[in-house]
Amino acid sequence: MIKELHRMAIFVEVVEHGSFSKAAATLGLGKSIVSAHVAALEKRIGAQLLTRSTRALALTQEGSVFYDNCRRMVSAGEDAFATVESQRASVSGTIRLTSSYNVGVSFLIAQLAQFREAHSDVTFDLVLEDSVSHVIEERFDLAIRVGRLADTGLFATELGTCRMLVCASPKFLKKHPRIKAPADLVNLPWITIMQLPHPEKLHLVHGVTGQQLALSLHGTVKTHSGIAAREFVRCGVGVGLLPDYAVDKDIARGDLVRVLPMWNEAHDRPISAVFPSRDRLSTRVRLLIEFLRESLKPAP
């Protein structure tokens, strides 16, 4: 049936151009190929569809009925393309996206709420999970990832970076007041996020001197959840290496304290938008990516 549908579309072009040669030029086919397709339709139907003369083509009675049905088929196809293209060009429709719980709760949800204030016709299907989702298999338009990306064959663009901060609660620091140098961190109880590339290694650089250190840590609590790690640190269970977007407000309120603030993790971590296709991104997804990128720009 696929061949017949293709031939029906060719037949519509022939009728509407009134000429085999003009239809062939529009379709980028040879005149003999177009003529053969129409002849194949006539053979399949068992009736002549066109009367041919040196001056013009004319529909037979059967051809007129057949053309009306073929035109409806072609129009339905054109409408299908127009509908999708219109949705891609407009800022409406659903964006299906995913991130970790920590990124979602600490950063992404607030940004999506702001985006919807400007684009109220956009809806979200948000999946939060600390395991890495399969973007194509699970039909996500977008995934927000933190850290170095695995080579998955997907497309990605960097939105910004985050800095991992050594943090503890005021309660914990009352019990461990003698943290004066990086070496003092080694024997402390640590809350380690196992999703990090090297969860029990700490690579620090001094903000002024540039001195670098590598420390091995003792994980008292191990978790795959960034949110769980933050809550353990807030409860005074131990020290943690936590992303700035997840703890900035806690630090500002005094619920958490930066430990050895002159020492930072040696490398900032990229925050990336990952998507299945660069060429087929809808307008709404492109706008969201740019919105998130703007929101992650450092304050002047």
Measured distance CA(68)–CA(80) in Å, rounded: 19
100 and 241 share one domain:
no
Average pLDDT (162-183) is 92
Total domains in the chain come to 3
Q: Is the pLDDT of residue 282 over 90?
A: no
Per-residue burial over 156-168, b if 16 or more Cβ lie within 10 Å, else e, is: eeebbebebbbbb
pLDDT at 87: 61
pLDDT tier for residue 151 given thresholds of 50, 70 and 90: low
Mean pLDDT computed over every residue of the chain: 88
Domain interval for residue 241: 164-267
Identify whether 97 is part of a domain.
yes
Per the domain annotation, does 259 fall within a domain? yes
Last residue within a domain, chosen from 41, 69, 86 = 86
* CATH number, residue 237: 3.40.190.290
Residue 113 corresponds to which amino acid?
A: A
Query: According to the model, what pLDDT value does residue 237 have?
Result: 95
185 and 212 in a common domain:
yes
**Are residues 253 and 184 located together in one domain of the fold?**
yes
Find the distance separating the first CA and the last CA of the chain, reported in whole Å.
Answer: 63
Q: What is the CATH number of the domain that holds 100?
A: 3.40.190.10
Exposure pattern of 225-260 as b/e (b: 16+ CB <10 Å)?
A: bbbbbbebbbeebbbbbbbbbbbeebbeeeebbbbb
Work out the average pLDDT over 225-237: 94
**pLDDT tens-digit map of 57-116:** 888 898 888 988 888 888 888 778 776 766 665 678 899 999 999 999 999 999 999 999
Angle (CA) 173 175 177, round 5°: 55
Examine residue 27 and state whether it is found in any structural domain, yes or no: yes
| Sheet with 201-206, edge to edge strand ranges | 212-216, 201-206, 263-265
**CATH (domain of 40):** 1.10.10.10
Show the tokens assigned to 232. Answer: 């353990």
Q: Is residue 279 part of a domain?
A: yes
Q: What is the pLDDT of residue 90?
A: 62
pLDDT, tens digit (0-9, with 9 covering 90-100), for 250-278: 999 999 999 999 998 888 899 999 988 76
Residue ending a domain, choose from 66, 86, 106? 86
pLDDT at 227: 92
pLDDT of 155 higher than 70:
yes
Q: Using one digit for the tens of pLDDT, what is the confidence trace for 27-39? A: 898 989 999 999 9
Question: Would 300 be classed as within a structural domain?
Answer: no
Pair 174, 251 in one domain? yes
Of 177-181, 199-203, 245-249, which has the strongest mean pLDDT?
245-249
| Cα angle, residue 285 at apex, residues 283 and 291 outer, rounded to 5° | 105
- pLDDT in the model for residue 135: 85
Please name the residue that has the structure tokens 């990128």: 293
